[in-house]
A and B are shown apart, each in its own frame.
Chain A
Amino acid sequence: MKQPPPSPSRLGALRSLVGRFAFLALVGSAFALMLLGKADTALIERLRGAVSDAVVPALEVISRPAASVAKVIDNVREMAAIREQNALLREENERLLRWQAAARLLEAENDSLKDLLNYVPDPRASFVTARVVADTGGAFAHSVLITAGERELVEKGQAVVSGQGLVGRVAEAGKRSARVLLVTDINSRIPVVVGAGRLRGILAGDNTDRPRILYLRTPGAVSPGDRVMTSGAAGAFPPGLPVGVVTSVEETAIHIEPFLKRERLEFVRVVDYGMTGILRDVTASDGPLGRNR
């Protein structure tokens, strides 16, 4: 539409010179920022925390209608298949009840065996539940923003889970918000155990939906369908959180399909492991099978 004609005056020439210099300086600053991001990660984390703290209240407002619309669409879609889904769920429920009975038996047996061995129980984990207000991924990073931060005692490095399994870990925590690095992000490294043989490895994200398992001592012993769980080797991560299922085993790489469904993330739980006693004002709940005393 409107475009002022370039003025041939000396002032115009000066202005374009200054403009060009500013442009070059800013491009230089962009490169300097990239270097700084590699060199001083703590500063960048603080900046990211400040930005997410500033925008989370606004995002909370915007994300609610978006979530509601998505829910309405989901409801309509589910209505169509409600009968067959009901039948499927009944069947599944029966199967799960049988599993529950088995789990109860095993739990009782496990408890009595632990008593016999004078086993020192793991510290009980506490959870902070938070809403996911931004999926900031795009193509180059896989992370989400949640509405809990230092105020809720969320700290960098804590594990984040959803109903499906491990979501990722807290990459940085602001005052009232935190960024969760998903297991699929290129910066994500999680110690895991694979299959019934409990082979130790590192789950490494690569910005695709299928992260890889690295540093397995005997990769040949892994086969598609093996379950992958956190190993707890890093200390901060509770052991035994479900992560995913091995989908393909090749010479060069073992890929897994994470249980994490990124588009389904609405609420997540930040696992605070071994900090009970300090956390008094947040609701603590039991682990998957109710931890031992």
Chain B
Amino acid sequence: MRPNLWQRIDMFVRHQVPLVLTLLLLLVSVVPSHAAGLTRIGPMLALIAVYYWAIYRPDLLGTGAVFLIGVAQDLLTGTPPGVAALALLLTQAVVLSQYRFFNARSFAVTWWAFSLVAAGAMTIQWLAVSLVYGTLVDASAAFYGYLMTVAIYPVVGWLLARVQIAFLRDV
């Protein structure tokens, strides 16, 4: 049975949910929190989203979209352009290459795996920024940012799972 026009439009819109949501999380991550000590170590929400969709709906957030998200993050946050793009692309590639491992794993295992993948992503960014500036930049803020990102993963992951159930269950 061929879907009619409205069904196709509906499906198209639903399929944009991961991309739009990731860009929205990117915006949220730069809103000033006004909390002492937290401004320097804000979590990388876009990284969480890219990781999540690479596991559960790799068909809806392609390589090109991830690249665009990364470039958007670089342009928005003032990091050298290309740095976040590289980290997000490699994150997605690692997850996709291990899809057998991630298939139907418990939440705890996914979280643990995220802590490893995020460590890799942060290290890549740190190396790339150091390379561009030609000096080893301070790594402590990156480390705390990493801890923050891993700590907030359950909340964002839960949110993304809600959205996936609400919008993407059968499409």
Contact = CB atoms under 8 A, between A and B. Distances in A.
Given A2-B57, A135-B30, A263-B39, A30 B82 contact: yes
Of B80, B122, B131, chain A has the most CB atoms within 10 Å of the CB of B80
B44 interface: yes
A47 B73 CA distance: 12
Contacts of B48: none
Contacts, number: 177
A252 B70 CA distance: 37
Where chain B touches its partner, the secondary structure class is helix
Interface residues of A, number: 61
A182 to B, nearest CB: 10
A34 B132 contact: yes
Interface of B: 27-42, 44, 56-59, 63-64, 67, 70-72, 74-83, 85-86, 89-90, 93, 99, 103-104, 122, 125-126, 128-129, 131-133, 135, 137-138, 140-142, 144-145, 164
26 contacts: A4-B59, A19-B63, A23-B63, A27-B89, A29-B67, A30-B67, A30-B82, A33-B71, A34-B131, A48-B76, A66-B31, A133-B31, A134-B30, A135-B32, A135-B39, A136-B30, A138-B77, A139-B40, A141-B77, A141-B79, A144-B32, A207-B137, A207-B138, A208-B140, A262-B39, A266-B34
Interface of A: 1-4, 19, 22-23, 26-27, 29-34, 36-38, 44, 47-48, 51-52, 55, 58-59, 62-63, 66-67, 70-71, 74, 132-145, 171, 179, 181, 185-186, 206-209, 262-266
